[in-house]
Structure 1
């Protein structure tokens, strides 16, 4: 990141990025697992004012559903900016420097990847498979579109625009 190479970290990737740049990884007060929060609402990320202005979110609504699978959060340094927050985990999307982005939640899931995770992850096994699959069905079109658009925006910012 010090060399200016674009970086995109998801979940542990965010945590490693923040720690490498002097921040901390701590236990989040509430484990965020699956599609729904403790109040049974879909997990959402809310873009901050700075996030709404950042080109990585061009064409993205100011709030969107996200899949969660973590029990940690990050503490930032002054050089880091929060671009997205959540109800139970404040630092959901972080920008480190000019071109390094970290996402605590998962925006990269395909349906096949999702099905593998719910079969193998111990925390996800505690949630009824049919509920997880039903929630994916509810959010799938918008969730996948949002994730794809963010990833395309990142590639464009990195000088590797997809046609």
Structure 2
């Protein structure tokens, strides 16, 4: 399979997604649409992964709309998609759901709780990394996968092969450090999780997170 990854920030890479692809023998192509304005074509995409970033789908960048058009085209061709944070918001927006300020800004580690068995094999609870202050409304026809204590809409499955996650499971230890040292100021104001960059980096990445990423990607690869 050719896994096309859209990366929007230099400090938010594919992490465990690339590990999964390498272990499964899939080819990985990483695009940086916010830097170069280049996106893959649908007919060269076997799976699309849309990562996070500091932007909002509501920003008026042409590349964001082009990205949403790619998402809609991939869905029309039944190409599986995983969206993380901004990526999940982009999927929701592409399907006509709104993205707006969340009731709480979540920056740091917090539990998410499974809300359905729509995607088999996922654990009932995960300690996930959060780095957001916006949230998506659920797209029409989607199943809610996870909620946190502060923000209800944390993950969804739609169309049988499209997953959006507001939180980060793909981050490995080095990725957490990279995010925190470069964007740590974001955690210091209005953060309802009340965690400092130093506290965020001290928390070990739970091994269950990597396994959950693998479960999601294995599911998407056959649906």
Q: Is the pair's TM-score, using the shorter chain for normalization, greater than 0.5?
A: yes
Runs of 5+ consecutive residues of structure 1 not aligned to the other structure: 36-42
Equivalent residues of 2:119, 2:216 under 8 A apart = no
Aligned counterpart for 2:170 among listed residues 108, 115, 131: 108
Aligned counterpart for 2:119 among listed residues 42, 50, 54: 54
Equivalent residues of 2:180, 2:201 under 8 A apart = no
- Tell me, in whole angstroms, the C-alpha distance in 1 between the residues paired with 2:119 and 2:145: 8
Aligned counterpart for 1:130 among listed residues 171, 194, 198: 198
Answer 1 or 2: higher relative contact order, Cα 8 Å, separation at least 6. Answer: 1
- Tell me, in whole angstroms, the C-alpha distance in 2 between the residues paired with 1:2 and 1:30: 34
Runs of 5+ consecutive residues of structure 2 not aligned to the other structure: 1-74, 190-194
SS in 1 for 2:221: coil
TM-score for the superposition, normalised by structure 1 = 0.79
TM-score for the superposition, normalised by structure 2 = 0.59
Equivalent residues of 2:126, 2:209 under 8 A apart = no
Matches within 5 A, 1:47-86: 47-48=114-115, 50=116, 52-55=117-120, 58=121, 60-86=122-148
SS in 2 for 1:33: strand
Q: How many residues align?
A: 142
Q: Is residue 5 from structure 1 mapped to residue 67 from structure 2 by the alignment?
A: no
Q: Is residue 146 from structure 1 mapped to residue 220 from structure 2 by the alignment?
A: no
Over the aligned positions, Cα root-mean-square deviation in angstroms equals: 1.8
